[in-house]
Structure formats: C-alpha cells, structure tokens
Amino acid sequence: MIKMKPILKGRKNIFKKLMIFLAVLGPGIITLSAGNDAGGITTYSVCGANFGYSMLWIAIPLTLGLVVIQEISNRMGVVTGKGLSGVIRERFGVKITFYIMLGIFLGNMCNVTSEFAGIAASLELFGISKYISTPFFAVLVFVLALLGNYKTVEKVFLVGCLCFLTYIIAGFLAKPDWKEVGHNLVVPHLKLESSYLVTLIAVLGTTIAPWMQFYHQSSAAEKGTKLELLNYGRLDASLGSLIANMVAFFIVITCAATLFHSRTQIVEAKDAAMALKPLAGKYCFYLFAFGLLNASLLAACVLPLSAAFTVCEGFGWESGVGKTASEAPQFYIVYSILIIFGCAVVLIPRISLIGLMIFSQIINGLLLPFITFFTIILANDRRIMGKYANTPVFNVLAWCVGLGASLLSLTWIVILAIESV
Amino acid sequence: MTSQTTFYFSRTLNRKFYSSEGKPLGKVKDLLIELSGSRPRVIAIKTRIKRKERILDFSQFELVKAITNYVIKCNNIVDFQIPESSHSIFLAESVLDRQIVDINGRKLVRVNDFRLVIISTGVYLIAVDVGLEGLLRRIGISHQIKTFLSWFNLTLPGRYILWDDVETIDSMRAGIRLSTTYSKLHTLHPSDLADIIEDMDHKSRINVFSALDEEKAADVLEELEDKAQVHVIETLSKEKAADVLEKMPAHEAADIIDQLETEKAEELLNEMTLETSGDVRELLQYEEDTVGSVMSADYVSFNKNVTVAHVIDELRKTKPEADVLYSILVVDDRERLIGALSLRDLIVSEPSLLLHLIMEKQLVTVFDDDKIDSLVEIIDKYNLLAVPVIDSSSKIQGLVMIDKVLEELIEK
C-alpha cells in the first residue's frame, strides 16, 4: 500500500495537470485556427502553386516567430488583464494609439474583405453567385454577432477547421519529392524578384497576422487565467502555432506537388481546389469549398468584432454586443463599416477574389513590423509586465521577427522600384 | 492673477518652460496633484531639465496667457520633496489615458485630458475630459476638425466630468492606495457597481473589490455574473473571501461555492463560521434541478401560541431581510409547519391575538426534492412572493423567493 501511494499520486497529478491544461486551453488554439482564414489558405496555395518548394525554408523560423509573438500576447493578456490597444494607449498615449488604430482598422478592412471574398469564392464552387452569397452571409454574420452567442459559433467553426487536416493526407497522396522538400526546408534561398518577395510578405503577414495579437491578448485577458498557470498558456500558444503552421506547410507542399508541377496558375478558387484531387478526386471541389467557407465564416464572425473591440478599447469608447446601439454607438459604427465595406468590395463586378485575399495578407505583412516593435517595448516594460517581462532569449527572437519583417518589406519596395524603372 | 482662467493639461504636457528672463529651462512632463485637501491642487511639477528628470515646487511656476497659447514661466528652480504621508497622484503617470469610473454615468471611461483652473490661491484640477474633442486635441487635429465642422454649422461634442464625480482605479500601482480610497464607489448601487466591475480588467477588479467593506462586497458579489463571481472569489484572499461569503444569504453563497473547484470550496467552507458553513453545506447537497438548490435557508418561524405583539417585537430586534418576510411561518410544538402570515396580517391584527387564530391554514408548500419546474406553476397559479419548503416530515427547510424562480425562468 505504502509503495503504491506515490504512483497513484503521480497519476492523479498527471490527470490533474491535463484537466488544468484543458481548462486553460483555448485562446491560443482558437486564435491560431482562426488565423488560417480565407487569406491564409489562398496565400499558402498560391505560394505552393507559383513557387513550388522554394519558400519552404521560411516554415521553421516562421513557426518559431509565431510561437514567440503569440506567447507574448497571451502573457501580456494574462498579466495586465487588458487588451493590447488598452495597454498601448496607457503606455504611449493618444497620438501613437491613433495611428496604430488607424493602421489596424484599415488592415482589418482588408481582412474582412478577404473573408467575404473567401465566402464568395467557396460558394462559387457550388455554383452560387457572389451577388447572392455575400449579402446573405453578411447579414448572417451580423445577426450572429448581435445575438451575442458568437462564442458558441466559434466552437462550431473550430470543429470545421479540422477538415484542413485533410491537406496533410493530401500532401502525402500527392507524392511530393520528399528529398527536395527536406532540402528546401533547411536551406534558405531568397529570390530577389518582387513577385517572390511579395508572396513571402503575404505568407509572413498571414502567419503572424497583427490582428491575431490583438485577438489573442484580449481572449487571454477575458478568460482571466491565473498567473500561476502561465506555462499552460504558453503550451496552448505553442500547440496552436504548431498545428496551424503544420497545416500551412502541407498546403504549400500539396499545391507545389500538384499545381506547380502541372504549371497551373491559381486564378480562381477552383484552381486551388485541384490540389486536393489526388485525395478527393472529383469531390475535391466540395472538400475545398467546404473548408474555405468554414474558415472564412469563422474569421468573418471573429475578426470584425475583435477589430471593433480593439478600436473602442484604444479610444475608451463603450463596446460589447450586450450594449445597445445608443449606449455604444462607436462600436456599432466601426463594426458596420467593416462588414459593409468588406461586402461591398467583393460585390464589385469582375474583381479578382483571389487577388483580394492575397492583397489583404500583403497589408498584414507590411503592418507586422510596426505592431511587433510596440509589442516588444511593452513586453519589456516592467511597470506593465512586472516580473513577467520578456527574457533576453524571447527578446532576440521577437526582434528577429520585427527586423526580418521590416527588412523583407524594405527589400521588396526597393526591388519593386528598380523593376519598374 | 485675480481673474479666473482655465486651461487643458495637454497644452502644458511636453511644453518648454522658461525662466523669468525668457530663457528655456526644460520641459514639463507631469503635474502632481494633492488630493487630501478640500480641492485637488497642483503642488509639484515633474520636469526634464538637461536630460534629467526633476520634480519641482509648483509655487515657483506661473502660466501666462500669450496670444494663442500659454507660456509657462518658472521664477526659481526649487526641488520638491514628496511628503511620505501625502495623498497625491501624478496626472500623466496614473490617470491620463487610463480608465476611471464615472460615478454619475455609472460606467468606465477613458481619460483624454484634464481641465485645470488658475485662481489666486493656486492651480486646481476641476474636470476630466472624456469626450471626442479631447481625443482630437491630443492627436493635435481638433482645430482643423473644428474649422471643418464650422462650415456645416456643426460643433465638436465635448464631454467633461467633474473631478468630484470620478473615481480613479490605478491598477498599475496597486497596494499604495490608502484605505480611504474608492469612497465614491460606495455611493453607487450594488448592481451598478457590479456592472462597472465586470467591465474592469481583473487586476483593478480585485483592487476595487478588496477595498469595499464586507457588507457592500457581499451585495456587489451577489449581482455579478457567475463567471465574474467565481473569478473574484478565487482571487481574493481566503479570509476576505470567506468573510464576504458569510455576509451573503446562504443560498447565494452556496450557488457560488458550487461553481468552485472542490478543494477551493472546502478551504473556504472551513474558513467560514460553523453556523453559515453548515447552512451552505446543506444547500450544496441538493441536486441542481430541485427546489432545495434554489431555496433560501433564511426564514423566520414562530410557535402558533405566541402573540402578534411578540412577533413584531422579535422582528424589530432581529431585523431580517425584506424578502424573508414575504412569508412568516407558523409551527406547532413539534416544529411542523402548520400555517403562514403576511406582514399585513400582523399589522392589522390586535397585538394580543395568538398566531394560530390569524394565520393562513390553507398553505401551498413544496418539498425540498421537488423539481424546480413545479415551482413555476405554483407561483404563477397562487400569485405568491415566496413558497415555504418542507421535507417529508413537514419540517421547514427554507423559503423559495419569487426572484429566484424568475432567474431560473430567464436562464431558460
């Protein structure tokens, strides 16, 4: 009996730890799954289709960077109990907050547009015109948000995200040249062409999307996880990043092995869907369309709300779906502008839906360095973070993300200027 | 200066200040406000002189109105020592851009700017700017926007709250506040205060909550949402949490404890007095959908052979809560429920009458293990405010109040 005790106790501890982890789990996984949105899937598909395996080397540094950035967001949320825009406002004052909010708002206008483009593109695969689908889903998203149970909606879509795991199977079925995959994964090579660089910026922007930092931090703050459980939150962020990037990695491989191989350019969603043919055969369109629709809807529900919260928190306006339009006018105005603008752009005749989705991710990539630098300063401020301020290792990694992203953007602009001369 | 002039804090922040000869000396970084006096007065100024931060005595400073702006003059550079005992705050450091409680509007607002007044006795803080105009002024575009709007005969909406009507919640420097703070929050209704606390970040939440006395804390806790209740109880110190729970009606305390982890719940129950924890433990035993889980363990009962005068006397002494008196219960010598009275019955009766002569004998009761659904019908059918709960041997277990039944209905 005496001997058994420690074993039993040990087992109970593991069980208990698992329970705690499951309770803390959430902000990271949800944010990062929502991060593989319409823009994400399209960008990764285009990346694989146009450039084959040649961008795979970014996968490992990108995953590391994502883990670091999302961990900071989670930590800052738990420590301060505030959203990122609230912390920025209190640390940097109104002026800087104004410019960041403006950037985030404009960036999110593009993002919301890209989600509606995703909805329209996926339903076109089912033969439904965008002039019907977009307004319908815009109203649906609006109603879901106003009913206030978007948390439940979020969970439903989260389950739907699992269908992207099919890309992992599809990746194997597409029989990629694993030797080449391995080689490209570890040996970096940068092509100094604007099309290559801009795709890289889009990949960066969609993977470490600035809006995800805001969203992750406010869900962590809202959840009110205890400080002692910060390690579990770290695990949550890491696991989420790993899964999200694993899916991204296989999307690129699958598209590289199929579309790049057959020199197919992605012009419409159906071209991207062809990548799933080795797996799903003639049903590949349905599988892709379902996945894209699900991902777009998840982000379309989450993103405009989160953006409206972010802006209102920064400016000190009342916010929340529990408040009426007269109590929180700015909140509803921001929210409505995002939805209406996004919907309206998609409805422009003959506009390229794929182009819209890629464009939004380029904007994210260009915004990333700014947000990252502010995040680093905040995460190092002991008045804000106390003893939970960044450690040197985290700082080095976070600076790498910020500087890497800046360097990439600058190089692209320079190359673009040279090429256009 | 005899005339009264007002100015905005943002118009002085980061501005240069000059010597009496007009030589630039440094930049204004912050103002220190003394709060313990009858009016909040500026006593010191944080400056940056030659890359060094220095806190100077404000009495040496002067604001002179120039054509469009203010010129800040310093006659003598005199260092200021912040007295240990003083109750003072730096405006930019602790209040500007942060959230404060608007007492009259009963909500959280963010501070965009301050309005100060210069009178002969000094410079005083009068109001907090929380409006759009203040926001634009800080961004530096309020003039342009105003001119633009004036073409359409529109003005910028400004919104100010008097300093007397706000309460700061300084989450960054927790622990250094005096115990007398948050006194303005005490004037708020518990349910309004609960709404405000729900909107706060969790650090401020605990700061504010810890500063409330136990009675008020218990009232506010009762009004919080389930999730916030659990969060507050889990984060408060064990002793404080137990004290607050003791002040709550047993069924409300049981509802909260029921949502905690078993270990935490046990810890709190052990910390509470035996009497209250006993009641709570009993309530915790009931299944979730039974009457027992929603009933209140607080009730008043009297023997059938006591007089009306005795009852009124007794109630005066014990001062039970209002809802407990919805139904005053009457028992026989073996403690079995045989009737009930209303306050009206007591007041209109002769003081010398015995209870069993005036009580209502046709009682509607429920058993503690009945389903909650049956309650809804009963309350609706008989128009009751409270229904007594008994066990199988007719012993009283508690009372179910109509508001609890309504809560259940709304949740469905």
CA distance A316 to chain B (A): 5
Percent of chain A with pLDDT over 70: 92
CA distance linking residue B365 with residue B61, whole number of Å = 76
The closest alpha carbon to A167, from A240, A94, A276, A88, belongs to A276
DSSP code of residue A260: I
The closest alpha carbon to A211, from A101, A350, A348, belongs to A101
Confidence check on the interface: ipTM exceeds 0.85, yes or no: no
Six-digit token pair at B328? 């005053």
What mean pLDDT comes out for the span A303-323? 86
CA distance B202 to chain A (A): 6
Task: Give the structural domain span for A142.
Answer: 30-382
| Count of structural domains, chain A | 1
List pLDDT tens digits, range A194-236. 888 999 999 999 999 999 899 989 888 877 777 777 888 888 8
A20 domain residue, yes or no: no
The closest alpha carbon to B90, from B60, B114, B64, belongs to B114
CA distance linking residue A146 with residue A153, whole number of Å = 12
Residues B96, A384: C-beta atoms closer than 8 Å: no
A250 domain residue, yes or no: yes
A82 touches chain B (CB under 8 A): yes
CB A344 within 8 A of CB A135: no
Taking CB atoms and an 8 Å cutoff, what residues of chain B touch A94? 97, 112, 135, 138-139
Q: Give me the helices (H) in A256-352, please.
A: 269-273, 277-280, 284-315, 329-346
Sign of the torsion formed by the C-alpha atoms of A330, A331, A334 and A340: negative
The closest alpha carbon to B337, from B392, B398, B399, B396, belongs to B396
Q: Indicate if the pLDDT at residue A308 is higher than 80.
A: yes
A384: closest chain B residue by CA: B172
- The pTM assigned to this predicted structure is 0.78
Q: CA angle, A119 as apex, A113 and A122 as ends, to 5°? A: 135
pLDDT computed for residue A25 by the predictor: 65
Provide the CB-side half-sphere exposure for A246 (13 A, CA): 13
CB B289 within 8 A of CB B371: yes
Domain boundaries, chain B: 5-150, 174-285, 301-411
pLDDT computed for residue A13 by the predictor: 64
Decide the pairing of beta strands B301-303 and B328-331. parallel
Domain harbouring A248, CATH code:
1.20.1740.10
CB B67 within 8 A of CB B80: no
A381 touches chain B (CB under 8 A): no
The closest alpha carbon to B293, from B375, B219, B233, belongs to B375
When scoring A12, A24, A78, A90 by the number of chain B Cβ atoms within 10 A, the one with the most, hence best to mutate, is A90
pLDDT computed for residue B242 by the predictor: 86
Six-digit token pair at A57? 């080397």
What is the Cα Rg of chain B in Å?
Answer: 30
Residues B112, A316: C-beta atoms closer than 8 Å: yes
Residues B138, A94: C-beta atoms closer than 8 Å: yes
CA distance linking residue A407 with residue B141, whole number of Å = 32
A384 touches chain B (CB under 8 A): yes
What distance lies between CA A366 and its chain's CA centroid?
15
A79: closest chain B residue by CA: B203
Residues A93, B97: C-beta atoms closer than 8 Å: yes
A292 domain residue, yes or no: yes
Residues A93, B138: C-beta atoms closer than 8 Å: yes
- CATH dotted code for B174-285: 1.25.60.10
CB B127 within 8 A of CB B104: no
CB A265 within 8 A of CB A195: no
Q: Indicate if the pLDDT at residue A21 is higher than 70.
A: no
Say which of B135, B205, B234 has its CB closest to residue A315. B135
List pLDDT tens digits, range A249-298. 999 988 888 888 778 787 777 787 777 777 777 777 888 888 888 888 88
List pLDDT tens digits, range B58-73. 888 888 877 767 788 8
pLDDT tier for residue A375 given thresholds of 50, 70 and 90:
very high
Choose which CATH entry (1.10.260.40, 3.10.580.10, 3.20.20.10, 3.40.50.1820) describes domain B301-411: 3.10.580.10
Taking CB atoms and an 8 Å cutoff, what residues of chain A touch B112? 94, 316
pLDDT computed for residue B3 by the predictor: 59
Decide the pairing of beta strands B52-57 and B386-390. unpaired
List pLDDT tens digits, range A154-190. 677 777 777 777 788 888 887 888 888 898 888 888 8
CA distance linking residue A64 with residue A40, whole number of Å = 18
CA distance linking residue B269 with residue B263, whole number of Å = 10
List pLDDT tens digits, range B71-126. 888 888 888 888 776 678 888 888 888 888 888 888 888 888 998 888 888 888 88
Q: How far is CA A375 from CA A72, A190, A233, A369, A370, in A?
A: 8, 28, 18, 10, 9
pLDDT tier for residue A105 given thresholds of 50, 70 and 90:
very high
Say which of B139, B205, B234 has its CB closest to residue A95. B139
Taking CB atoms and an 8 Å cutoff, what residues of chain A touch B130? 316
pLDDT computed for residue A295 by the predictor: 86
CB B167 within 8 A of CB B95: no
A194 domain residue, yes or no: yes
DSSP code of residue B63: E
Q: Which residues pair with B302 in a beta bridge?
A: B330
